Chains A and B, each alone.
Chain A
Amino acid sequence: MLNAHLNFKLLEMCSKCGACFSICPSCVNLPGYDPRIVIKDILAGDWEKWLTSKSIWQCLECHHCLEICFQHYGFENAMTALRTIAAKRGIHPTQVKRGWDMFVKTSKLGDPALPARKKLGLPEPAKSGAEEFKKLYALLKEKKAKSGKTH
Chain B
Amino acid sequence: MKDFAVFWGCTIQTRFPFIEKSTRLVLDEFKLPHRDIDGFTCCPEKSLINNIDHSLFVLTAARNVALADEHDCDIVSPCTGCVSNLATVKGELKYNPVEKNEVNSLLKEVGREFKGTAKLSHLVPFFHDVVGLQTIKQKMKKSFSGLKIALHYGCHMIRPSHALKNDDPLNPKKFDNIIRALGAESMNFPTKMMCCGQGLDRVDQHDLALFMARVKLKELKSLGADAMVLCCPSCFLQFDNNQYLMEKEGEKLGIPVIYFTELLGLGMGYSAEELGMNQHRSDCAPFIKKWEALLKKPDDEAIIENDLNTAGALG
Give residues in A with beta carbon < 8 Å to B. 25, 28-30, 54, 57-58, 60-64, 66-68, 72, 80, 83-84, 87-88, 92-96, 99-100, 103-104, 107-113, 116-117, 120-123, 125-130, 132-133, 135-137, 139-140, 143-144, 151
Cβ distance A139 to chain B, nearest Cβ, rounded Å: 5
**Interface of B toward A, CB cutoff 8 Å:** 8, 10-11, 13-15, 17-18, 20-21, 24, 36-42, 44-56, 59-60, 63, 67, 106-107, 109-110, 155-156, 159-162, 169-170, 193-195, 197, 199-200, 202-205, 208, 211-212, 215, 276, 279
* A129 in contact with B40 (CB, 8 Å): yes
Question: Is A125 within 8 A of B205, CB to CB?
Answer: no
Which residues of A are found within 8 Å of B56, using beta-carbon distances?
A: 104, 137, 140
- Contact partners of B40 in chain A: CB under 8 A: 126, 128-129
Nearest-Cβ distance from residue B52 to partner chain A, whole angstroms: 5
For A122, list chain B residues within 8 Å (CB). Answer: 17, 20-21, 24
Q: How far is the CB of B7 from chain A (nearest CB, A)?
A: 10
Query: Which residues of chain B have C-beta atoms less than 8 A from A92's C-beta?
Result: 51-52
A122, B156: Cα distance in complex, Å: 27
**Which B-chain residue is minimally distant from A141 (CB atoms)?**
B56
CB distance from A89 to the nearest CB of B (A): 11
13 contacts between A and B (CB under 8 A): A29-B211, A62-B159, A63-B159, A66-B160, A92-B52, A96-B48, A108-B14, A108-B42, A109-B14, A129-B41, A129-B67, A136-B106, A140-B59
Interface of A is mostly: helix
Residues of B within 8 A of A94 (CB): 204
Contact B47 A61 (CB under 8 A): yes
Main secondary structure of the interface of B (DSSP, over half): helix
Shortest beta-carbon distance, B207 to chain A, in Å?
Answer: 11
Chain A residues in 8 Å Cβ range of B53:
151
The residue on B at minimum CB distance from A81 is B51
- Write out the residue numbers on chain A whose beta carbons fall within 8 Å of the beta carbon of B63: 129, 132-133, 136
CB contact under 8 A between A128 and B17, given known A29-B211, A99-B202, A103-B48: no
In the assembled complex, the Cα of A120 lies from the Cα of B23 at a distance in Å of 12
Query: Known: A29-B215, A109-B45, A110-B11. Contact between A58 and B205, CB under 8 A?
Result: yes
Give A120 to B276 CA distance when docked, in angstroms.
7
Are the CB atoms of B205 and A54 closer together than 8 Å? yes
The reply to whether A57 and B52 form a contact with Cβ atoms under 8 Å apart is no
For residue A123, which residues in chain B have a CB less than 8 angstroms away from its CB?
Answer: 36
A83-B51 contact given A60-B195, A68-B170, CB 8 Å threshold: yes
B10 pairs with A95, CB closer than 8 A: no
Interchain CA distance A21-B219 in the complex, whole Å: 21
Question: Other CB < 8 Å A-B pairs besides A99-B48, A140-B55, 10 of them?
Answer: A29-B211, A58-B203, A60-B199, A83-B51, A84-B51, A108-B42, A109-B45, A128-B40, A129-B39, A136-B109
Docked CA distance A139–B146 (Å):
58
**Complex interface: chain B residues within 8 A of A113 (CB):** 13-15, 17
Q: How far is the CB of A60 from chain B (nearest CB, A)?
A: 4
**Bound Cα distance from A100 to B45, whole angstroms:** 10
| Chain A residues whose C-beta falls within 8 Å of the C-beta of B215 in the assembled complex | 29
Q: Tell me the nearest residue of chain B to A80, going by C-beta.
A: B51
Residues of chain A within 8 A of B212, CB atoms compared: 25, 29
Asked if residues A72 and B162 are in contact (CB atoms below 8 Å), the reply is yes
Chain A, Cβ-Cβ closest to B214 = A29
